[in-house]
Amino acid sequence: MVRINLLPHRELKRRRQRDAFLALSGITVAIGGAVVFAVYGVIGGRIEQQQGRNAYLDGEIAKLDKQIEEIQKLREQTQAMLARKKVVETLQANRSEAVNLLDQLVRQLPEGVYLRSVKQIGGNVNLSGYAQSNARVSSLLRNLEASPWLQQPSLVEIKAATTGNARLNEFTVNVRLTRAAAEAVEVRNTAKPAHKDKQS
């Protein structure tokens, strides 16, 4: 007996192929979505991790900026303290300078010479006065040159002047202070008595 299939087998075959294609497409879409989701999750995690690192670095940079600012303030305070220290040391070193200068002027002033003004600017001293003769001014310059406190005396000006009824020579002299030599003299002077005591 011969069997004849009257069902539309071609349509059924197409339907099965279509269902298989749709199923395969669905699986492909699902796998693609899973891959995209996974990649997005990994990238998002790395971005979040990098943002965390950036935030940490920003915080550390802010701390370093604050420390640098504090160090700068400390440096400024240190510079100010060093400047004050230098001023104090200068005042300490020069506190007896005026006394020694006047003492030396009195010691080195020859007879017949009178000072009218003494001006000091730093290590420079300007002397103005009257002398009975030019020779007295020369003696003053020699005495100033021999002083351990003074050096490089130079005559700026000398001219005839009349004071009262007397004819005098008005002069101006510049001279420099020698702190190092004067300090050495002071050290020698303070050391000599002790040396004598030892000999006695």
Residue ranges of the domains in the chain? Answer: 97-191
Does the model's pTM come out above 0.85? no
pLDDT at 187 over 60: no
Once rounded to an integer, what is the mean pLDDT over residues 147-173?
80
Domain with residues 97-191, CATH architecture: 2-Layer Sandwich (3.30)
- Which residue has tokens 């279509």? 18
CA–CA distance, 32 with 26 (Å, rounded to integer): 10
Instruction: State percent of the chain over pLDDT 90.
Output: 18
Q: Is 171 exposed, middle or buried (0-12, 13-18, 19+ CB in 10 A)?
A: buried
pLDDT at 195 over 50: no
Once rounded to an integer, what is the mean pLDDT over residues 7-29?
82
Please list, residue by residue across 20-54, b when 16 or more beta carbons sit within 10 angstroms of its beta carbon and e when fewer do: eeeeeeeeeeeeeeeeeeeeeeeeeeeeeeeeeee
Rg from Cα positions in the chain: 51
The angle that helices 134-146 and 97-108 make with each other, rounded to 10 degrees, is 130
Token pair recorded at residue 151: 């050096």
